[in-house]
Amino acid sequence: MGSGWKVGRVAGIDLAIHPSWLVIAFLLTFSLADAFFPRLIPGWTTGQYWLVGVGTALLFFASVLAHEFSHAIVARRLGLKVAGITLFIFGGATSIETDSRSARDEALIALAGPVASLVIGGVLLAIGALVTQPEVSAIVGWLGIINVVLGAFNLVPGYPMDGGRVLRAILWRVRGDPLTATRQAAMVGRVIGYLMVAGGIYWALRSRDIGSGLWLALVGWFLATSAEATMQQAGIERSLSGVRVRDAMDATPAAISPNESVADLVSERMLRGDDRSFLVRHPDGGLAGMVTLGDVRRLPRESWADRRVTDIMTRYGDLATIGPDEPLADALRLIQEREVGQLPVIGEEARQPLGIVTRSGILRLIDARLKLGV
């Protein structure tokens, strides 16, 4: 999932909210406050319905976070690096920076979320059955049902849903090739997604519950497009199999001093050559950071003459970097995750760059390899 608003950090894991989450948060709260609770518990004021609706919606999203945290905790226990969790319109997404080392690990990480939701749902349903107060029973019961539905739905074998990742793990174990398993699981996910789209449209046309039908179709469309993107990514990774960063990096990238003025950077470098990004290096050759056209654009033009490169650059500690012997597919994945155009290539000696690998350079190499069939 794309970037969102960071709202906190729990157990070393960043929590973020994607703007699309606001849509589902409002729709869910409105549904609870305007329809569900008034029908189930008559006699309250509008304010009471909305207050309980907001609280129940927040508890539901807390259970979604519990689902995603289960993925993250298992992944970390298996030695994988978890970048963060993002809530968005279709639920949540856990970003894991490194791939699973085995089919078993993949299955354990994928199953952790649905199991957590099913357990939470079962416990809440049991509590709801024991509680005698109807208002509390209604809230707890609804949360129990929705968690069971969340856990069961995520087990649908359509990649990239959790069930699809379990299917990928099974195919990986049977075939011994994770890329082939990814592609085949994504193909199943695409088929299931389009079936959900068709089913949702049929539901909307043949019943009075138009909203639920359209929502099912929208979820199916998201699943189908995500599966297609996964298939394309698997094809790209296949084309880059065995290719290392050093095979595609520019070993003589453009560099600049941190003390050069921004005005000189623009007039002498950016407007007189093809380079739009520059390594910023100290006199001893050590890497201080990187400056790009985007950094310059964020600075008012009237300040160019008075500001130095060091004032606007991304400093070394904040840079995403990669080693020369890392798979080139990992470099492309990191570029996409960090939403940058290039990565400095750093060797064993800290701060001493060996070159730079760019998104455009990787894409040109992919295009050439696909056309040549290598």
Q: Write out pLDDT tens, residues 325-349.
A: 998 988 888 888 788 889 999 988 7
Cα 169 to chain centroid, rounded: 20
Of 108, 125, 155, which residue sits at a domain end? 155
Consecutive H or E run containing 355: strand 353-358
Same domain, 44 and 142: yes
Distances 201 to 204, 217, 221 between C-alpha atoms, Å: 5, 6, 11
pTM of the full structure: 0.74
pLDDT band at 111 (very low <50, low <70, confident <90, very high): very high
> What share of the chain has pLDDT > 90, as a percent?
49
Please give the Cα distance from 206 to 31 (Å, whole number).
Answer: 22
**What is the chain's mean pLDDT, rounded?**
89
Q: How confident is the model at residue 1 (pLDDT cuts 50, 70, 90)?
A: very low
The pLDDT of residue 7 is 80
Residue 283, pLDDT score: 87
* Active centre residues (catalytic): 68
Give yes or no: residues 163 and 105 share one domain.
Answer: no
The domain of 38 spans 1-155
**Per the structure, how many domains does the chain have?**
3
Are both 6 and 147 inside the same structural domain?
Answer: yes
**Rounded to whole angstroms, how far apart are CA atoms 230 and 333?**
12
Any residues with CB less than 8 A from the CB of 270 and at least 6 apart, and which? Answer: 276, 293, 296
- What span, in angstroms and rounded, lies between the C-alpha atoms of 341 and 357? 9
Residues 202 and 252 grouped into a single domain: no
Residues forming beta bridges with residue 356, ordered by sequence position: 250, 344
Buried b or exposed e, range 342-365, using 16+ CB within 10 angstroms: bbbbbeeeebebbbbbbeebbeeb
Confidence band for 289, pLDDT divided at 50, 70 and 90: very high
Share of the chain above pLDDT 70, in %: 98
Residues 149 and 14 in one domain: yes
